[in-house]
C-alpha cells in the first residue's frame, strides 16, 4: 500500500488479498448462514453457495498478473461468473462485475473507486433479476453501497469507507425481516444478506491489518428486533407443492449473447430466474421442474460449463431436519384465543406458538381450537382461552387429541398476557401450568364496553348504549362516554399495591381520547406506570390491566 495525500492506494494484489481474507472469514460462518436460509427456497445451502462462489472468484484472481488492479478485478469477475452458485452467489458475482467495470483500465484504486464499484455492482444485480425482492442480499448490497458512497464524500480512506459499508450492511441485515414477511414468520434475517455482510467484514479486517486475529474470531449472525414467532411451525408443516430442481450453468456463446432475450425465453420455464454476464458468457440460474428443457435451450446458444442440478426437495428435507434440531428451547407450546390485530401482535410478540381468532360474542369452535393445537410442533400444549365462555370449549380438547393439553382458565386478555409472560422456557408442562395459573390470578382486569340493551344489574340501571365498566367481570361503573367510565373505574380501585396499568384500546376507541385518560391517571397516581397499547379488539372500547 502506498501512502498518498488524502487516502491510500491499493494494487491488484491487495484487491485479491482482501477477498482471500473475506473467503476465510465467510467460511467460518457457513453453517450459521445455511441455517438462516428460508428464502426463496428453504434449502439450507446459501452459505455454502456463497463460499463456493467466492472461492472460484479468488482462484481466478490468482491467475492474473497481480500488480494490476484492473486485471485482477476482471479475473475475479470472470471467476465469480463461472463459479457462482445459488441466488445469493449469482448476486454476489455481480458485485465483482461492478468492481471490474469501475476498476477497468486502472492499475490501482482507492476508497472512491471501491465505493463506486459497490454501487455499480448493486445496480447490475438489481437489473439481473426480473422481479427484485427487497429484504434480501440485494437490499443489503444497495444499503452498503449507499453508505460507502456517502462516506467517500468525506474521506478517501478505503478502510473508513468499508467500515461505513459494514455498519450499514449490519443494520440492513437486521432490518430484512421487516421487509420480507417470510423472514419475519421464520424468525430469521436474510441468509444472503448476512453472507454479504460477513464478506464485507472480512475485507474490513484485512484493511485493518487484523488478518492474524481473524483466526480467533467468529462472525456473528445479526438478529432483527422483531419477535421470533413460529419458526418450527412454518418448516414442519408438510409441503404440498414440490420445489423442483435448482439448475445452473454457464454458456459460452457461439455468437453474441443477448441477456434480455435469454431472460424472456426462460421466464416461463421456472422461478428465481437470474441471467448475468456479458456478450461472450452468461451464467443462468433457474428453479425449474424440467431442467432438460432449460439445458437444451442453453445448448442452442453455445457451449455449457459448470453445469449443476440439484433436487431442492431433498435439500429442503435435510434443512427441515437441521432446523428442528436447533428448535427453540421450549418443549411446551402455548395457544391463545385472541381477537383484534393489535392484541394478536401482543401475544405473538410474547412468543405464543399459535393464535386462534375469537373472543366475546365470537367464540371459536372446538374444531378451530383443535386445529391450532395440532398445528404446533410440540406435544405438550397450554391453552389460554382468555374468555369465560371459551374456557369450557377449551377443556374438551384433552379428549380429542393425542397431545397433552392443559387449560389455564384465563377469563380475560390481561390474565392471558400475564400467564404468557410468566412462561418458563426451562420448565415442564406441570410446572408451567402452575406458574402461569398463579401469574394470571395476580392481575386485575378492567373492561369497558357499551350496553347492547337496557337492563338492571343489582340495583344499577343501565340504559341502551350506555358505557359500562367491569372489574374482573363484575359491573363497576355506568356512564355516557367509555373514557369517563374507564377513568372512574380506575379511580375506584385500591392503587396502593399497584405499579403498572396497561390499557389496550379497541376498534371503537381513539388513541387521542385514550391518551387523555392516561394523562389524568398519571396526574392522580404519579408513581404508577401507564402503558397504552393498540389492541384493535372489537366489542370492548378498552381493556386494561392493573398489576
Partner 1 sequence: MWGFGVVRIVTDSPADIPPVLAKELGIVVIPLYVRFGSEVYRDGVDLTPDEFYRKLVTNRSLPVTSTPAPGEIAQVYDTLAEETEEIVSIHVSSKLSATYEVALQAREQMKKKCRVELVDSMSGAMGEGLVVIAAAKEARKGTGLEQVANLAREAALKSHVYMCFDTLEFLRRGGRIGRAQALLGSVLKVNPIIGVKDGETHPYGRERSRARAIDRVFDFVKSLPSIGELAVEHASTPDEAEALADRLGGIFPRERIYMSRVAPAVGVHVGPHVIAVSALEGQ
**Minimum distance from CB of 232 to partner 1 (Å)?**
12
Where is 455: in which H helix or E strand?
strand 455-457
Q: In what order do the strands lie in the sheet with 354-357?
A: 354-357, 332-338, 380-384, 404-407
- For residues 7-32, one letter each, b for 16 or more C-beta atoms within 10 angstroms of the residue's C-beta and e for the rest, the string is bbbbbbbbbbbbbbbbbbbbbbbbeb
Nearer Cβ to partner 1, position 132 or 342?
A: 342
By CB under 8 A, what part of segment 176-205 binds partner 1? 187
Nearer Cβ to partner 1, position 95 or 169?
A: 169
Does 453 participate in binding partner 1 (rule CB under 8 A)? Answer: no
Does 166 participate in binding partner 1 (rule CB under 8 A)? Answer: no
Provide long-range contacts, Cβ within 8 A and 24+ apart, for 178-182.
178/135, 178/224, 178/226, 179/134, 179/135, 179/139, 180/39, 180/133, 180/134, 180/135, 180/136, 182/38, 182/39
**Minimum distance from CB of 336 to partner 1 (Å)?**
14
Does 346 participate in binding partner 1 (rule CB under 8 A)? Answer: yes
Nearer Cβ to partner 1, position 276 or 376?
A: 376
| 8 A C-beta contact, residue 71 and residue 117 | no
Strand partners, 478: 468
Stretch near partner 1 under the rule CB under 8 A, chosen from 71-79, 148-156, 327-335, 461-469: 327-335
By CB under 8 A, what part of segment 216-235 binds partner 1? 216-218, 220-228
Does 399 participate in binding partner 1 (rule CB under 8 A)? Answer: no
Does 174 participate in binding partner 1 (rule CB under 8 A)? Answer: yes
Per-residue cell: 41: 427456497
Does 526 participate in binding partner 1 (rule CB under 8 A)? Answer: no
When binding is defined by CB under 8 A, the residue of 324, 499, 515, 524 that contacts partner 1 is 499
Does 328 participate in binding partner 1 (rule CB under 8 A)? Answer: yes
Stretch near partner 1 under the rule CB under 8 A, chosen from 44-52, 291-299, 300-308, 322-330: 322-330
Considering CB under 8 A, how many residues would be counted as binding partner 1?
41
Spatial CA neighbour of 295 closest among 271, 274, 266: 266
Spatial CA neighbour of 225 closest among 182, 175, 185: 175
**Minimum distance from CB of 414 to partner 1 (Å)?**
11
Give the DSSP letter of residue 41: -
Please tell me the distance from the alpha carbon of residue 298 to that of residue 57, in angstroms, as a whole number. Answer: 23
Does 352 participate in binding partner 1 (rule CB under 8 A)? Answer: no
Q: Which residues bind partner 1 (CB under 8 A)?
A: 167, 170, 174, 187, 212-213, 216-218, 220-228, 328-330, 342, 345-346, 349-351, 417, 421-426, 499-500, 502, 529, 531, 533, 547
Amino acid at each position: 500500500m502506498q501512502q498518498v495525500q488524502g487516502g491510500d492506494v491499493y494494487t491488484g494484489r491487495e484487491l485479491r488479498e482482501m477477498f482471500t481474507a473475506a473467503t476465510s472469514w465467510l467460511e467460518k460462518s457457513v453453517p450459521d448462514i445455511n441455517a438462516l436460509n428460508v428464502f426463496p427456497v428453504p434449502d439450507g445451502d446459501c452459505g455454502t453457495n456463497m463460499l463456493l462462489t467466492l472461492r472460484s472468484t479468488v482462484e481466478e484472481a490468482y491467475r492474473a498478473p497481480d500488480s494490476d488492479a484492473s486485471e485482477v478485478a476482471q479475473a475475479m469477475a470472470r471467476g465469480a461468473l463461472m463459479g457462482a452458485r445459488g441466488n445469493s452467489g449469482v448476486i454476489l458475482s455481480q458485485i465483482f462485475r461492478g468492481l471490474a467495470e469501475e476498476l477497468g483500465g486502472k492499475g490501482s484504486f482507492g476508497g472512491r473507486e471501491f465505493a463506486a464499484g459497490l454501487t455499480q455492482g448493486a445496480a447490475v444485480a438489481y437489473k439481473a433479476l426480473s422481479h427484485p425482492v427487497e429484504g434480501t442480499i440485494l437490499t443489503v448490497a444497495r444499503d452498503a453501497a449507499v453508505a460507502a458512497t456517502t462516506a467517500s464524500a468525506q474521506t478517501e480512506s478505503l478502510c473508513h469507507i468499508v467500515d461505513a459499508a459494514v455498519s450499514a450492511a449490519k443494520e440492513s441485515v437486521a432490518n430484512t425481516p421487516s421487509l420480507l414477511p417470510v423472514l419475519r414468520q421464520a424468525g430469521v434475517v436474510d441468509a444472503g444478506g448476512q453472507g454479504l455482510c460477513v464478506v464485507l467484514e472480512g475485507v474490513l479486517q484485512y484493511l485493518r491489518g487484523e488478518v492474524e486475529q481473524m483466526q480467533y474470531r467468529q462472525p456473528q449472525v445479526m438478529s432483527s428486533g422483531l419477535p421470533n414467532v413460529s419458526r418450527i411451525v412454518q418448516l414442519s408443516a408438510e409441503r404440498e407443492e414440490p420445489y423442483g430442481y435448482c439448475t445452473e450453468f454457464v454458456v459460452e456463446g457461439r455468437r453474441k449473447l443477448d441477456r434480455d432475450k435469454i431472460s424472456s425465453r426462460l421466464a416461463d420455464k421456472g422461478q428465481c430466474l437470474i441471467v448475468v454476464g456479458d456478450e461472450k458468457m452468461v451464467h443462468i440460474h433457474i428453479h425449474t421442474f424440467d431442467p432438460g428443457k432449460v439445458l437444451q435451450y442453453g445448448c442452442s446458444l453455445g457451449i455449457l460449463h459448470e453445469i449443476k442440478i440439484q433436487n431442492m426437495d431433498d435439500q429442503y428435507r435435510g434443512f427441515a431436519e437441521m432446523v428442528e434440531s436447533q428448535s427453540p428451547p421450549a418443549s411446551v407450546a402455548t395457544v391463545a384465543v385472541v381477537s383484534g390485530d393489535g392484541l394478536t401482535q401482543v401475544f405473538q410478540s410474547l412468543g405464543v406458538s399459535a393464535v386462534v381468532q375469537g373472543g366475546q360474542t365470537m367464540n371459536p369452535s372446538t374444531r378451530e381450537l383443535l386445529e391450532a393445537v395440532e398445528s404446533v410442533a410440540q406435544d405438550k400444549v397450554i391453552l389460554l382461552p382468555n374468555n369465560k365462555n371459551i374456557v369450557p370449549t377449551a377443556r374438551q380438547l384433552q379428549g380429542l387429541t393425542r397431545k397433552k393439553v392443559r387449560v389455564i382458565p384465563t377469563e380475560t386478555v390481561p390474565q392471558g398476557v400475564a400467564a404468557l409472560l410468566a412462561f418458563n422456557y426451562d420448565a415442564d408442562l406441570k410446572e408451567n401450568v402452575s406458574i402461569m395459573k398463579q401469574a394470571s390470578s395476580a392481575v386485575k382486569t378492567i373492561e369497558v364496553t357499551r350496553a347492547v340493551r337496557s337492563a338492571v344489574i343489582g340495583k344499577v340501571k343501565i340504559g341502551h348504549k350506555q358505557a359500562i365498566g367491569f372489574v374482573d367481570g363484575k359491573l363497576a361503573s355506568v356512564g355516557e362516554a367509555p373514557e369517563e367510565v374507564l377513568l372512574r373505574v380506575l379511580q375506584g380501585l385500591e392503587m396502593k399495591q399497584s405499579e403498572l396499568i396497561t390499557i389496550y384500546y379497541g376498534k371503537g376507541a381513539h388513541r387521542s381520547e385514550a391518551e387523555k385518560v392516561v394523562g389524568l391517571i398519571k396526574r392522580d397516581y404519579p408513581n404508577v406506570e401507564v402503558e397504552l397499547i393498540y389492541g384493535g379488539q372489537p366489542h370492548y372500547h378498552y381493556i386494561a390491566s392493573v398489576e
